[in-house]
Structure 1
Amino acid sequence: MLYLLLKAFHIIFMVSYFAGLFYLVRLFVYYKDTDSFPEEKKLILREQYLFMMRRLWNIITVPAFIIMTVCGITMIILNTGLLQTPWFHLKLMFLVGLFFYHYWAWKRVLEIKSLAGKDLSISNLKLRQYNEIATFLLFLIVVTVILKDYVIQNWWQLILGFFVLVFLITMTVKLVNKAKR
């Protein structure tokens, strides 16, 4: 029963964590979108976006990350057999990528905080592309966990499906940006 409760909390806080990441990077995009605004409007919006980023990061994203991680580690301790399964090794590899993405997002929050309303050096298009990284990681992690051994036996289908997903999302982002102009 404890293991199932931990799994439920792990999933619930994983959803909260990814929601926080998705919205956080979207706020980076909104912040960057203000570059061409009149100065007064730009400063007001940027102050509000920074306020939203800090609250989102400190109240939702980081606490969800901590609870998700603690539940995951506790499940590994309670079921050490997971460490013997190839699909779990693959999941751990994707989690390492997620932790790097988490670090990148945290560094952007600190950068924006230190800018005091000034322009970000990263392009709007790059931010929109980085916004999709969490989607790709979520896709890889969930598919690996749900399909387990099938993924290991048919890894090339996962890779192919991943590249198709990346292509479709990249094209969608480019089309939306083109239509926006």
Structure 2
Amino acid sequence: MDFYYVKALHIIFIVTWFAGLFYIGRLFIYHVEAEKKEEPAKSILQTQYKLMSKRLWYIITWPSLFLASFFAFWLLYKDPTYLEMPWMHVKLAFVLALYFYHGFCHKIYKELQRDEINYSSTKLRILNEAPTVILFAVVFLVVLKDTINWIWGVVGIILFGVLLMIGIRFYKKIRAKKSWDKFEKELIKEDKKSEV
């Protein structure tokens, strides 16, 4: 098979792998947040999230990991000079971090399938940003290759991570405010009903 076809397949399965990782994180958050719902909504939602997670995890995410890796090894086999490039070593370190992240997501997936909730939705939101940081780092490495200034690249990735954390905290405050406003409106409605 031509080198460019292999490269195209590698990129396609990288995209589907990341799509699976991004969405599984959202499903984890929804599953945990459903724990606060009243019955029967809680059971209905969690059953649905378990099913959606199972399909996403085993039909899209795991196969994409294996296929992306298979085509990556094939590319390295067809052109081993990539392994001599310093940027590739850094990229492979980020890919290794992504494998660890995937493994950690599998652990959370198994826990949620057993109805074990060990993480808050806030912690899961923060965790869900890890593949975003890795994606940015890898894309910039692949595009810029040796022209990247490593110090500024690392600083940029750290700043990006900090901005994501600030964004998560800001979002949490907005959500809390909306929940409080909704609670106040419900209290006012109940007061008006009791007056009548």
Normalising by the residue count of structure 1, what TM-score does the alignment of the two structures yield?
Answer: 0.94
1:21 match: 21
Computing the radius of gyration from Cα coordinates, the structure with the larger value is 2
What is the alpha-carbon distance in structure 2 between the residues aligned to residue 40 and residue 120 of structure 1? Answer: 18
What is the alpha-carbon distance in structure 2 between the residues aligned to residue 121 and residue 60 of structure 1? Answer: 25
2:194 match: none
Within a 5 Å distance, the mapping from 1:58-137 to structure 2 comes to 58-115=58-115, 120-137=117-134
Within a 5 Å distance, the mapping from 1:142-181 to structure 2 comes to 142-151=139-148, 154-181=149-176
What is the alpha-carbon distance in structure 2 between the residues aligned to residue 35 and residue 174 of structure 1? Answer: 21
What is the alpha-carbon distance in structure 1 between the residues aligned to residue 136 and residue 104 of structure 2? Answer: 19
What is the alpha-carbon distance in structure 2 between the residues aligned to residue 41 and residue 88 of structure 1? Answer: 48
Query: In the alignment, is residue 140 of structure 1 matched against residue 150 of structure 2?
Result: no
Provide the secondary structure at the position in 2 that maps to 1:39. Answer: coil
Aligned length: 176
Q: Which 4+ runs in 1 deviate beyond 4 A?
A: none
**CA deviation after TM superposition for structure 1 residue 59, in Å:** 0.9
Normalising by the residue count of structure 2, what TM-score does the alignment of the two structures yield?
Answer: 0.87
In the TM superposition, what whole-angstrom CA distance separates every residue of 1:77-104 from its partner, at most 9, and x where no partner exists? 0101111110100111111100000100
**CA deviation after TM superposition for structure 1 residue 65, in Å:** 1.1
Q: Which runs of 5+ in 1 are unaligned?
A: none
What is the alpha-carbon distance in structure 1 between the residues aligned to residue 39 and residue 117 of structure 2? Answer: 15
What is the alpha-carbon distance in structure 1 between the residues aligned to residue 30 and residue 93 of structure 2? Answer: 31
**CA deviation after TM superposition for structure 1 residue 39, in Å:** 2.5
Provide the secondary structure at the position in 2 that maps to 1:148. Answer: helix
**CA deviation after TM superposition for structure 1 residue 66, in Å:** 1.1
**CA deviation after TM superposition for structure 1 residue 22, in Å:** 0.2
**CA deviation after TM superposition for structure 1 residue 35, in Å:** 2.1
What is the alpha-carbon distance in structure 2 between the residues aligned to residue 45 and residue 108 of structure 1? Answer: 17
Provide the secondary structure at the position in 1 that maps to 2:13. Answer: helix
Q: Which runs of 5+ in 2 are unaligned?
A: 177-196
